Amino acid sequence: MSARSEAVLIDVVRTPVGRGKPGGMLSGVHPVDLAAGVLAELLVRNGLESAQIDDVLLGCVSQIGDQSSNIARQAVLAAGFAETVPAATIDRQCGSSQQAVHFAAQGIIAGSYDAVIVGGVESMSRVPLGSSAAGGTPMSPRLRERYPDGLVNQGVSAELIAQRWDLDRDALDAYAAESHRRAAAAWDEGFFDRTVVPVAEALDARRDETVRAATTASGLAGLQPAFRTEALAARFPELDWRITPGNSSPLTDGASAALLMSAERAEQLGLTPRVRFRAFTVVGDDPLMMLTGPIPATQRLLDRSGLSIVDLDAYEVNEAFASVPLAWAAELGADAAKLNPRGGAIALGHALGSSGTRLLGTLVDHLEATGGRLGLQTMCEGGGMANATLIERV
């Protein structure tokens, strides 16, 4: 293995996403098998043997029940990979698979890897959000000393962001409706055909179940706030409670995966790189606001790369809630037309561990479809963190 290699992306795939509740189109598929399907697909599409893969790194947030016991290793074995292929599961909350990309690309650049598969999986229908904390609490006595009033769930953080950036209900609902419009148009145009692959255990699952083409801002206006309680209203009297199920990302099932290599190994194998990885960053931020991390993460990434926001051709900013990308755009002076141009998680779903590589695939496909060169991806994460990634089409 050579030192200071260039890290490139060869291919990226994902499942269609299903609603993350009983009866959702992927709820009958074990998450190990969801992940195994995209792993195996990458080998078939690129004519590889599993023994040519140095490592498999998968993101997964709720690592309990069906997603326990290092789900990455279980998926590698279920996919029929050689038993000699190692695997690790990563939890950086919503950015878990984006962090997997960072670890793999950084390992390639350092000369420690030649070829790595990264990705993520989450079955929120089978392993509900918050399952990992069942029977316990992450708020230890020392943590309570630092935050005596306690932290809050992400929905409340989204409310605090909407309040701070003066994002009213109309703006949030209009943004959410546009996400659905863009996603539906992308599907109708065949934009996702290259990246979305079938699920062997659910062959009728052909299109993202969460996209609602008929969504309108006026229709969303009738929904009630999702996170207000009497106790929270007393703690945050300044909030008028604008976050609803309609301007939030839905609970989702899905898996995604990407094949990364050194440029040298890709050339040896006769594989054509699609993008190179230019820069990475990860930051911590205020854990009460929690979802503002993409702002400093992007600023740091631009500083490191010597670029400004106007140099970028597209940006994928995860739509955990509509207030997150809207606040990010306001702070960065971003072009709304370049922000999540094929729709975001409000429409396409947010299968937590899978979302990082899902966004990456959308960004790569968009750059190729439009002839763009530089793309940015950033993701807010539980606990007040964020990753940012800069890619360049080759």
Torsions phi, psi of 295, nearest 5?
-70, -60
**Can you tell me the mean pLDDT for 56-80?**
98
Q: Are 223 and 244 in contact (CB under 8 A)?
A: yes
Statement: residue 44 has pLDDT above 70: yes
Least confident of 3-7, 36-40, 247-251, 306-310: 3-7
Distance from the Cα of residue 154 to its chain's centroid: 16
> According to the model, what pLDDT value does residue 134 have?
84
Does a structural domain hold residue 358? no
Q: Are 308 and 332 in contact (CB under 8 A)?
A: no
Percentage with pLDDT > 90 across the chain: 97
Dihedral sign computed on CA atoms, order 71, 348, 14, 370? negative
Does a structural domain hold residue 16? yes
> According to the model, what pLDDT value does residue 2 have?
45
Q: Write the Ramachandran bin of 80: left for phi over 0, alpha for psi from -120 to 50, otherwise beta.
A: left
Dihedral sign computed on CA atoms, order 324, 326, 331, 332? positive
Task: Provide the domain limits for residue 261.
Answer: 7-127+250-269
**Can you tell me the mean pLDDT for 304-321?**
98
Encode pLDDT of 172-187 as tens digits: 999 999 999 999 999 9
**Can you tell me the mean pLDDT for 312-334?**
98
Encode pLDDT of 7-25 as tens digits: 999 999 999 999 999 999 9
Q: Are 259 and 291 in contact (CB under 8 A)?
A: no
**Can you tell me the mean pLDDT for 208-232?**
98
Does a structural domain hold residue 73? yes
Q: Are 347 and 212 in contact (CB under 8 A)?
A: yes
Statement: residue 225 has pLDDT above 50: yes
Does a structural domain hold residue 264? yes
Strands (E), the chain: 7-14, 18-19, 55-59, 87-90, 115-123, 252-262, 275-284, 314-317, 374-381, 385-393
Query: Angle of helix 294-305 relative to helix 323-332, nearest 10 degrees?
Result: 40
Mean pLDDT, the chain, rounded, equals 97
Instruction: Show Cβ contacts of residue 146 under 8 Å, excluding neighbours closer than 6 positions.
Output: none
Distance, in Å, from the CA atom of 125 to the CA atom of 34, rounded to the nearest integer, reads 13
Active site residue 60: no
Which helix (H) or strand (E) is 389 found in, with range?
strand 385-393
Statement: residue 6 has pLDDT above 50: yes
Tokens 């207000």 belong to which residue? 228
Active site residue 94: yes
Least confident of 1-10, 75-84, 96-105, 323-332: 1-10
Does a structural domain hold residue 17? yes
Active site residue 366: no
> According to the model, what pLDDT value does residue 4 have?
65
Does a structural domain hold residue 118? yes
Does a structural domain hold residue 123? yes
Name the DSSP class of 150: -
Domain containing residue 92: CATH number = 3.40.47.10
Encode pLDDT of 243-274 as tens digits: 999 999 999 999 999 999 999 999 999 999 99
pLDDT band at residue 228, thresholds of 50, 70 and 90? very high
Does a structural domain hold residue 387? no
Percentage with pLDDT > 70 across the chain: 99
Q: Which of 60, 94, 102, 180 is catalytic?
A: 94
Q: How far is CA 283 from CA 10, 264, 289, 340, 374, in A?
A: 27, 31, 14, 22, 21
Number of domains in the chain: 1
> According to the model, what pLDDT value does residue 1 have?
41
pLDDT band at residue 346, thresholds of 50, 70 and 90? very high
The two three-digit tokens of residue 69, written as one number: 């016991």
Other C-beta atoms closer than 10 Å to the C-beta of 81 total 23
Statement: residue 380 has pLDDT above 70: yes
